[in-house]
Each structure stands twice: as structure tokens, then as C-alpha cells.
Amino acid sequence: MIQSIRVFFQRRMHPSSDIVGEQDVPLDPVHVAACALLLELAHADDEFSPAERHHIQAVLRRHFDLDEDTAETLIEVAEAEREQAIDLYQFTSLIREHYDLGQKTLLAEVMWGLILTDGRIAQHEGWLLRKIGNLLDLKPGYLADAKNRAARRMSGEG
């Protein structure tokens, strides 16, 4: 009984461990976790637009140095993990364990950029990003700075 509980939590804390074995592409569980958080934000307003999907793909390719097919596989695996997740903790704890402050702040900036792709911040999106920031141990000031940088980038200033 104890072993089955450990296996369950091991799989939940290291997303894609079973799914990645079925793929020919090795995926980093931390990348899966970051992608799952991006997907959670993209779905927060009940509209996962083509612009949001394009933004996520571009971010994955640029920041994780992935080709188009691998980025698409990562999105599929992360979406499956996101749909099975009970909460965000399994993703945020993995990121908190492996990312330093700079990487977490950059992730927050990417998340703000994703939210801003449709030109507005839905109430639930802002709330969810603040919750994720809290789970990542990011202080509100870091989130505000990340939001401002993302807004400048979206407006073409930065």
C-alpha cells in the first residue's frame, strides 16, 4: 500500500514520466511543468486562442531550444498532465525546486506576455498568475516588474 502511494506521488511530482516513455522524444519534466502552467493560464478565460497557442509554441522553441515538432509534443504532453492534475502544486513545486529567481521571474514575464496576447487581462487570469507567483515564491514586486516588461515588449517598446 505504501509503495503504491509513493509511486502515485512520484509520478505526480515528475510529470510525463509515463507519457514520455511512449514518445520518441525525451522531454524534461521541468519543461512539461512550465508548459502546463502556461496552458493553465491560456485556458483560464475559457478561450485558448490560436494566438495564445502560437505564443506558447514560440516561447517553448526560444527558451527551451526546441524544434517545432518537439514543441508540439511538449504541448500535447503538458496538456495531458494539466488535465489530469488535481492542482497546480505538482507543477510549481518542480519549477520552484529547479529554477532560480531569475528563471522564475522570466517565466512570470512569459506568463504575463501570454495573458496580454489578446489585449486584455481577464480577472481570473490575473488572479491565477498571482496564485502561481505565490506558489513559485515570487514576491509581488517581481510579478509587477515582469508584467511591466511583458507589456513593454507587447507594445514594441522593449
To the question of pTM greater than 0.85 for the whole model, the response is no
Structure confidence by residue, pLDDT tens digits, 32-41: 999 999 999 9
Q: Kindly tell me the number of DSSP H helices and DSSP E strands found in the chain.
A: 9, 0
Report domain extents, the chain: 2-155
3-state helix, strand, coil in the chain (%, to 5): 75, 0, 25
CA distance 88 to 131: 9
11: enclosing H helix or E strand: helix 2-13
63 burial (CB, 10 Å; 0-12 / 13-18 / 19+) is middle
pLDDT of the chain, 158 residues: tens digit per residue: 444 434 444 554 454 444 444 455 579 999 999 999 999 999 988 888 899 999 999 999 999 999 999 999 999 999 999 999 999 999 999 999 999 999 999 999 999 999 988 777 888 888 999 999 999 999 989 989 998 998 888 887 65
12 closest CA partner among 76, 108, 88: 88
Q: Which amino acid is at 31?
A: H
Superfamily (CATH H level) for 2-155: TerB-like (1.10.3680.10)
